[in-house]
């Protein structure tokens, strides 16, 4: 029987000897507490009266679900109470949330997608919370510009997946660890130490409804996968699309594959550079992928090297098994 390692045990070992050990542990435990509360709301669904539309749009112009707003409020309340944050930026808020007077401020900024894949919520599909923690060293309160740091500046990133099990997956830059929520004890237990993305894979993840708008490199890659063993790849492929980045990325961390949300002619005609947001989707998920020996690119550069220009900036996203991302990058360079 392997030793039961709780998230608190893991944090003590992971941050041992670091000057910021207590701060990072307190912040991470507050994130976990928020996810436990959000998981309970998701799990109770209609019985908790939290399903359905909120009757308003977010800064993205997307219809907000009731649970989008509730999850945002839970995440803010729990994480700011840790006393380790100087500010919080969220998909659900136009500008960052300043830490209120009377609440201790710390040396970190956090960006969050409180309920990724919320269009799945009313049909009981996978959803998740994605978070990214950045350093903040100034004495004065931050402004939005202080959040605009490249993904390679992150000190902690991860997600909580609300699915058949509730799983917290995170990295501090020393590999990727996965924890499963023990509902009886109400605590996360280490269940997937040192997660690694298989280098080879025969599974791709893309919303194929937009095929008519794809640019040539993506079209070539997907066509070759679809041609299977009769085509240049010489092998058959499978496709999955969860409608939630957390669901797709978690599957890839577990069994390999590529997740693609490229820019396309339709988006560019609307003045957009992609669908997914850099600060609280692409950067945290890209770091997890790299820490698990995968790769993450925009098609033009490594996702972790993109210098953000706005809180809700969108980027094209390709991430997953290293050999498949290498192939995609080759197609983008020809």
Residues that bind ligand P6P (CB under 6 A): 116-117, 119, 207, 243-245, 275-276
Beta carbon of residue 69, minimum distance to ligand P6P (angstroms, whole number): 15
Write out the two tokens for 306: 């993109």
Contact 84, 109 (CB under 8 A): no
Beta carbon of residue 272, minimum distance to ligand P6P (angstroms, whole number): 12
**Whole-number Å distance between alpha carbons of 96 and 104:** 17
Q: Which CB sits closer to ligand P6P, 2 or 164?
A: 164
DSSP string, 137-197: --SSPP-GGGG---GGG-SEEEEEEESSSEEEEEESSS-EEEEEEETTTTEEEEEE-S---
Beta carbon of residue 103, minimum distance to ligand P6P (angstroms, whole number): 30
Nearest to 34 by CA among 64, 5, 76, 66: 76
Q: Which CB sits closer to ligand P6P, 108 or 259?
A: 259
**Whole-number Å distance between alpha carbons of 231 and 154:** 41
3-state helix, strand, coil in the chain (%, to 5): 40, 25, 35
Beta carbon of residue 210, minimum distance to ligand P6P (angstroms, whole number): 7
Nearest to 264 by CA among 253, 275, 256, 254: 275
What is the number of the residue whose Cβ is closest to ligand P6P? 245
**Whole-number Å distance between alpha carbons of 310 and 58:** 16
Beta carbon of residue 161, minimum distance to ligand P6P (angstroms, whole number): 11
Q: Which CB sits closer to ligand P6P, 58 or 82?
A: 58
Write out the two tokens for 216: 């040539």
Q: Which CB sits closer to ligand P6P, 9 or 122?
A: 122
Beta carbon of residue 137, minimum distance to ligand P6P (angstroms, whole number): 31
Beta carbon of residue 122, minimum distance to ligand P6P (angstroms, whole number): 13
Q: Which CB sits closer to ligand P6P, 78 or 250?
A: 250
Which residue is associated with the tokens 């396309």? 264
Give helix then strand counts, H and E, for the chain.
8, 15
Q: Which CB sits closer to ligand P6P, 84 or 244?
A: 244
Q: Which CB sits closer to ligand P6P, 60 or 323?
A: 60
Given CA atoms 114, 116, 121, 125 in this order, what sign does their dihedral have?
negative
Beta carbon of residue 98, minimum distance to ligand P6P (angstroms, whole number): 26
Q: Which CB sits closer to ligand P6P, 96 or 250?
A: 250
Contact 168, 179 (CB under 8 A): yes
């Amino acid at each position: 029987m392997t030793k039961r390692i709780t998230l608190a045990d893991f944090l003590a070992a992971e941050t041992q000897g670091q000057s910021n050990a207590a701060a990072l542990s307190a912040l991470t435990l507050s994130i976990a507490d928020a996810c436990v509360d959000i998981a309970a709301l998701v799990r109770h669904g209609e019985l908790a009266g939290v399903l359905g539309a909120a009757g308003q749009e977010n800064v993205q112009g997307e219809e907000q679900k009731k649970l989008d707003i509730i999850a945002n409020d839970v995440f803010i309340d729990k994480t700011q109470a840790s006393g380790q944050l100087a500010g919080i930026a969220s998909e659900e808020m136009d500008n960052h949330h300043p830490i209120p007077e009377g609440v201790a401020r710390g040396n970190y900024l956090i960006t969050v997608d409180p309920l990724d894949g919320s269009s799945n919520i009313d049909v009981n599909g996978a959803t998740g919370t994605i978070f990214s923690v950045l350093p903040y060293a100034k004495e004065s309160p931050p402004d939005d510009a202080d959040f605009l740091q490249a993904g390679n500046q992150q000190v902690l990133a991860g997600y909580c997946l609300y699915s058949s099990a509730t799983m917290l997956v995170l990295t501090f830059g020393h590999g990727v660890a996965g924890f499963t929520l023990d509902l009886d004890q109400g605590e996360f237990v280490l269940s997937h130490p040192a997660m690694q993305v298989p280098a080879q894979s025969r599974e791709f993840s893309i919303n194929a409804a937009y095929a008519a708008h794809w640019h040539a490199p993506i079209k070539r890659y997907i066509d070759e996968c679809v041609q299977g063993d009769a085509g240049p790849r010489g092998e058959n492929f499978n496709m999955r699309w969860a409608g939630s980045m957390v669901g797709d990325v978690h599957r890839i961390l577990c069994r390999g594959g590529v997740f693609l949300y490229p820019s396309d002619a339709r988006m560019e005609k609307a003045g957009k550079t992609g669908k997914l947001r850099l600060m609280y989707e692409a950067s945290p998920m890209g770091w997890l992928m790299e820490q698990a020996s995968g790769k993450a690119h925009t098609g033009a550069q490594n996702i972790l090297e993109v210098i953000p220009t706005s809180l809700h900036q969108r980027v094209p996203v390709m991430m997953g098994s290293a050999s498949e991302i290498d192939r995609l990058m080759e197609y983008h360079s020809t």
